[in-house]
Structures are given as C-alpha cells and as structure tokens.
Amino acid sequence: MNQPYESTILRFIAKNFLVPLMIVFAVYVLIHGESSPGGGFQAGAIFASAIILVRLIGGNTQTKGLKSLPMPLLIVVASTGLGIYVVTGILAQLFGANYLDYAAIPLQWFNEFAGENRTNRAMGMWIIELGVFLGVASVLVIIFDLLSKDPKND
Amino acid sequence: MKWLTFTFLTFVLILLLWATSDLPSRANPQSPANVHLSPEFTKLTETEIHVPNIVSAILADFRGYDTLGETFVIFTAGLAVLLVLGSHGRKKKDPRKK
C-alpha cells in the first residue's frame, strides 16, 4: 500500500464516480434515517468506506484532500461525535426531564426556520444519529490508518 | 481434564437445547414479546415521535441508552487500537537506537 497502483479503472471509475456517490449516499442515509432504513451507524460505515477507498487507490504517498486527514483531527471528530450524544442527554436533564428524553429540549425554532413540522423527539433522534455518524466514521478511518501505516516511516 | 470439559460442555449443550424447546416460536403472534412490546412501540412511535421508521425510533429513542453504549463500545475500540498501534512515546526511544 506504499506505492500507488496505476490503474485507469481504479483511478477513473472509483475516484470520479464511486467515491462521490458513496459520500452523497452516506449523507442521504444519515438524513433519511428516520423515514427509511438507515441511521448513524450505517451512514458512518458508508462514509468511512469512501475515505478508505480513496486511501486504497492513492497509497500512502499522496498528501492531498481526503488522503491526508491527520490523526489528531480524526480523534477530535470521534470524541466530538460521542460528546454530541452525551451532551444531548445532559441537555434533556437540564430542561428538567430524564437523561436522553429529547421531548424536553426546546427545538421548535427549527420547525419555524425550516418550515417543517417535526416533533422534538424526531429532532433529538436526528442529533444523536449525527453524533453516532461522526464517531463511527472517524473511528473506522482511525483503525484503518493505524493498521495500514508503514512502521518504518513512523 | 479434557474429557471433563467435554462432558461438562455436552451437558450444557443438552440443557440449552432442552430449554430451547420451551421458547415460543419466533413468528408466533401470541408470544409475550409480540403481545406486549410490539403493539406498544408501534402505538407510541405513531403518537409520540411521529417518525415513519419504527426501527429508528426504537434504536434512538426507546433504547437510547443501548445506542449510547454501542457508540461507547466503538469509540473504545478505536481508542484501544490507537493506544496499541499509535506512535506515541516511541519517538523518544528512536534517537537512542540510532
């Protein structure tokens, strides 16, 4: 995985067609998690596979775009995802309900802002799915990066 | 000792298989899980959450603690790989080697 593999099929089809499609599909699965099969775990797995595919195509030598996500940033994103989940639960407690009881969090302003009619619980579900998405996607990339790194160039 | 383990595990296997025959069939609509829990979740998803996907409602709302634990498990897995394979602390040893 140190040298990039020169293949027209990989370079053209995967890079220009598959990876953008996977990223868009991951966002679709995340946003439509409440109305169709999907959710944070699935969206995170699809997004991480897109990034891992880029790294498999490019090898370790290229340092641009999605290939060069630094490890500290990934760790921060993973912690942020978990933090969003935990803080949402604590927020519900601050508004006087049980832990992770999203009905108490005042999110009605979003309905007026976006012109939608969603309950607080649906909004809370979406927020924690976003946290799960960030956590799963970055943890999968962290594991792949660490397993595939070259110990000599440490 | 090997035969003792084998006998014990065979005994446990027979015990578990015997207990399985007492469980309700998975598709049985009269089993306790389908009589009490499923109608409750279906009704509450419609009246409380207003979300079309019952699976997501159960996963993220009714069983929010469970999903929180799952997220912690994945985060801990990443953290463990980072601690074992990460290069923290190894840089100090390298100059001594050279």
Three-state secondary structure string covering B11-45: HHHHHHHHHHCCCCCCCCCCCHHHHHHHHHHHHHH
Instruction: Say whether pLDDT at A61 is over 70.
Output: no
Instruction: Say whether pLDDT at B97 is over 60.
Output: no
Q: pLDDT tens-digit profile of B17-70?
A: 999 988 887 778 888 778 888 888 888 888 888 888 888 888 888 888 999 999
Position A153 in a domain: no
* Number of compact structural domains in chain A: 1
Tokens of B52: 């079309």
**Higher-pLDDT residue of A63, B39:** B39
Tokens of A51: 């990034």
Instruction: Say whether pLDDT at A139 is over 90.
Output: yes
What pLDDT shows up at residue A109?
81
Please give, rounded to a whole number of angstroms, the shortest distance from the CA of B15 to a CA of chain A. 36
What pLDDT shows up at residue B16?
95
Position A1 in a domain: no
For residue A138, what are the domain limits? 8-148
Instruction: Say whether pLDDT at A115 is over 80.
Output: no
What pLDDT shows up at residue A23?
94
Position A32 in a domain: yes
Whether the CB of A36 is below 8 Å from some CB of chain B: the reply is: yes
Please give, rounded to a whole number of angstroms, the shortest distance from the CA of B53 to a CA of chain A. 5
**Higher-pLDDT residue of A7, B89:** A7
Position A2 in a domain: no
Rounded to two decimals, the pTM is 0.81
DSSP 3-state of A115: coil
Tokens of A100: 């992770």
Rounded alpha-carbon distances, angstroms, from residue B70 to A112, A124, B63, B73, B74: 33, 18, 11, 5, 6
Contact A37 B55 (CB under 8 A): yes
What pLDDT shows up at residue A112?
79
What pLDDT shows up at residue A62?
55
pLDDT-based confidence at residue B96 (cuts at 50, 70, 90): low
Residue in B61, B71, B90 nearest the CB of A125: B61
Burial label for B38, CB within 10 Å (0-12, 13-18, 19+), is middle
Q: How far apart are the first and last CA of chain A?
A: 15
| Of the candidate ranges A71-75, A104-108, B13-17, B76-80, the one whose mean pLDDT is the lowest | A104-108
pLDDT-based confidence at residue A63 (cuts at 50, 70, 90): low
Rounded alpha-carbon distances, angstroms, from residue A41 to A12, A75, A111, A128: 29, 17, 26, 11
Domain boundaries, chain B: 37-87
CA nearest A36 in B: which residue?
A: B53
Set of chain B residues whose Cβ sits within 8 Å of the Cβ of A146: 81-82, 85-86
B54: alpha, beta or left? (left if phi > 0; alpha if psi -120 to 50): alpha
- CB atoms under 10 Å from CB of A113, counted, come to 8
Contact B51 A81 (CB under 8 A): no
Set of chain B residues whose Cβ sits within 8 Å of the Cβ of A116: none
Mean pLDDT of the A106-125 span: 81
Position A140 in a domain: yes
Of A56, A45, A41, the closest CA to residue A22 belongs to: A45
| Alpha-carbon gap, residue B46 to A99, rounded angstroms | 22
Instruction: Say whether pLDDT at A1 is over 70.
Output: no
**Higher-pLDDT residue of A54, B98:** A54
Please give, rounded to a whole number of angstroms, the shortest distance from the CA of A39 to a CA of chain B. 7
